[in-house]
Amino acid sequence: MTFTSAITGAITGRIEICLPGRRLLARLIRWSYRTLRMLPLGRGCQWRTVKGIRMQIDSTDPADRAFYAGSYAPYVADLLAIVVRPDDLCLDVGAQKGFFTLQMAKAVGVGGRIIAFEPDPRAMEILKTNVQRNGYKQVLLHSYAVGDCEGHCQLALSRQLGWSSRFPNDIATPTVESSIAVRTRCLDDVVKELGILPQTHRLSFIKIDAEGSEPLILQGAQETLRRFRPTLHIEVNKPSLCAGGFSTDSIETLLRSLDYRLYAIHFHRTGRLLRHRLSLVPVTSLQTELGDCEDVLAVGVRECPGATDVLRGECGS
């Protein structure tokens, strides 16, 4: 956290605490800070430091602006600090430009390993560049889609990187420019092929963000989940699930059958010092308790002792 952002957060937080009627002013101050922070980006693509890693940031891309502003998954560093240890193995399914991939590579260090999957060839090129710029030799990249079986599928390419999907929803469909055939593989097969074993590897964390393909990915990863019991970070995009003929039950039923508990991720300022706190809120129904597109954490609590501290709201920065 920069000095400026700390001061801004403290000021706006105190306004909200001491003067509830001035919340509009607090929002205005935060908006002004974010606007000023974006000014140095200028136009086009530039290399910027994002949460301690270097990323190629395109000022015209909303996702890139969110990466740079710190508004996309602001809890990621605190979460990885709890779940991931040095020398661990992590998987990133739907890596896009590599925000999670790079953060995970930083967390596991040179002795660890990250396996990232990204079927959109345009995003893959940027992902490769970002990985190389950071010198992360522990990252292994795969350009195929992850699903429930070996085969091929059609991938609709959106002009908004990160929205490409096997099942574009009503929002993504107007942005589709073309489609390509891509290879599909299941995680269970990839893990076996790479010789990854519980005796030799600690697979601690899997991030899945695949624009509606999450049920297929989980179906093809059941053996891996049973053997390694990793913590899962999953985007639940209801419109994309619907476009693929799935529902939230396709995710929830499978995970609960494997003895996973589901949590909504909250990251907010609290306390007199207004420190950021990461907390997990138990979810009993993905359909009724989540919005149209939210991230959830699936945790086997006995496999992740640090989760106890998160549930108590004791993790902060």
- Domains detected in the chain: 68-147+187-316 (3.40.50.150)
- Give the DSSP per-residue string, 212-259: T-HHHHHHTTHHHHHHH--EEEEEEEHHHHHHTT--THHHHHHHHHTT
Cα gap 187→193, rounded to integer Å:
10
- Count of positions (residues) in the chain: 317
Cross-strand bridge partners of residue 203: 89
What pLDDT, on a 0 to 100 scale, did the predictor assign at position 72? 87
Region of 245 please: left (phi>0), alpha (psi -120 to 50) or beta.
left
Inter-axis angle of helices 99-108 and 76-83, nearest 10: 40
Measured between its terminal Cα atoms, the distance across the chain in Å is: 9
Q: Report which secondary-structure segment, H or E, holds 217.
A: helix 214-219
What pLDDT, on a 0 to 100 scale, did the predictor assign at position 276? 63
pLDDT tens across the length of the chain (317 residues):
443 344 334 433 443 444 455 556 666 766 666 666 666 676 778 899 988 999 999 988 988 888 888 888 888 888 999 999 999 999 999 999 999 999 999 999 999 999 999 999 999 999 999 999 999 999 999 999 999 999 999 999 999 999 999 999 999 999 999 999 999 999 999 999 999 999 999 999 999 999 999 999 999 999 999 999 999 999 999 999 999 999 999 999 999 999 999 999 987 666 544 456 788 899 999 999 999 999 999 998 665 555 545 554 445 55
- The CB-side HSE value for 69 (13 A sphere, CA atoms) comes to 20
Match 């076996």 to its residue by tokens.
Answer: 192
Match 């996309």 to its residue by tokens.
Answer: 72
Cα gap 150→167, rounded to integer Å:
18
User: Which of 93, 28, 64 is CA-nearest to residue 234?
Assistant: 93
CA of residue 92 relative to chain centroid, distance = 8
The DSSP secondary-structure symbol of 195 reads T
Structure tokens at 80: 């990885």
- Total-model pTM: 0.84
Residue 285's identity, in one-letter code, is S
